[in-house]
Amino acid sequence: MYEVKKSGRNACQFYTAAMQMESEHKHVLYNELVSAINNEQLMVYFQPVVDAVSGMIVSCEALVRWPRADGSWVAPDVFIPVAEERGLINRVDLLVLQRSLESIRQLNRQLDRPIGLSVNVSPKLLHLRDDDAQQWLRVLEGEHEVAITIEITERVLIDEVGNTSKVLEQIHAAGVNIAIDDFGTGYSGLSYFSRFPVSAVKIDRSFVRDLGQRATQTTLVETILLLARKLGIQVVAEGVETAEQASILRDNNCDFLQGYFISKPIPEKEFMALVMAQQDKNKA
């Protein structure tokens, strides 16, 4: 806008220039991402999910991390959309699934009570249009050791593009759980609960943040918990940052908690040490 005012040219020109800059930026990011994948620079971090009552770690969410050679990190919110637009996301999701499964398999062999693994899945992957997506499905179907949950957003169920619902049925039949991520942000009706095999919802961070501060948000969370209970669906609260939030959630029968209050996402070794330490403490 400032440029337009300064130059007196039309707005269309400025918009085009801005778009060009953005597209160049994305192109650079894309090329960098391709080489990060090829050079195995992408990492997986794990964030614990705990039982709301006992505090025991019952599962974890695998989150992709991209550390650059210069020591900076590219946030998933920045590169995941680029990967989705340019057809790289299936490679990323396959890689995260394979790596995280390997880590949790190894960890579970040392545990008395095995933990589960949640992975995020891009809607694009569920169309199963390329080799990476097909391979991803085969990995899921072939896994009999680790209890896996795939996290999808409400959008996937509302849009129902192509054969998504068939794929979800197939995944469910293979014993994989399906969780609705960012639950409550999709402006959706709730009818998909009767059409899809959903076993858990993850209450979005935006609702959890204002728990105890704003009456409306608190009522919304209480209502989601009540609804889930009636439907026989488990609830994970995301973005739990304070003891007060945790206690309100517990009082309202929320099943599981995830957030900085428990732990940030951490590297594999650190995560394994955390789980082992909790097991040892519990035995003592």
Binding site for ligand C2E (CB under 6 A): 47, 63-64, 75-77, 80, 89, 92-93, 96, 120-122, 151, 181-182, 205, 239-241, 259-260, 265
User: Measured from the CB of residue 239, what is the shortest distance to Ca ion in angstroms?
Assistant: 8
Residue 122's binding partner out of ligand C2E, Ca ion, none, with CB under 5 to 8 Å set by partner kind:
ligand C2E
Q: Are 53 and 247 in contact (CB under 8 A)?
A: no
Residue 178's binding partner out of ligand C2E, Ca ion, none, with CB under 5 to 8 Å set by partner kind:
none
The residue length of the chain stands at 284
User: Measured from the CB of residue 214, what is the shortest distance to Ca ion in angstroms?
Assistant: 20
> Does residue number 151 form part of the binding site for Ca ion (CB under 5 A)?
yes
Task: Give 4 or 81: the residue with its C-beta nearer to ligand C2E.
Answer: 81
User: Measured from the CB of residue 185, what is the shortest distance to Ca ion in angstroms?
Assistant: 9
Task: Give 108 or 120: the residue with its C-beta nearer to Ca ion.
Answer: 120
Place of tokens 């979800």: 168
- Compute the distance between CA of residue 124 and CA of residue 110 in angstroms, rounded to an integer: 35
Judged by CB under 5 A, the stretch of 13-21, 49-57, 131-139, 148-156 that binds Ca ion is: 148-156
User: Measured from the CB of residue 263, what is the shortest distance to ligand C2E in angstroms?
Assistant: 9
User: Measured from the CB of residue 201, what is the shortest distance to ligand C2E in angstroms?
Assistant: 12
Site string for Ca ion, 221-260 (x = CB under 5 A): -----------------x----------------------
Task: Give 184 or 239: the residue with its C-beta nearer to ligand C2E.
Answer: 239
Task: Give 181 or 255: the residue with its C-beta nearer to ligand C2E.
Answer: 181
Task: Give 39 or 109: the residue with its C-beta nearer to ligand C2E.
Answer: 39
> Does residue number 182 form part of the binding site for Ca ion (CB under 5 A)?
yes
Residue 60 burial by CB count (10 A; 0-12/13-18/19+): exposed, middle or buried? Answer: buried
Give residues in contact with Ca ion (CB under 5 A). 120, 151, 181-182, 238
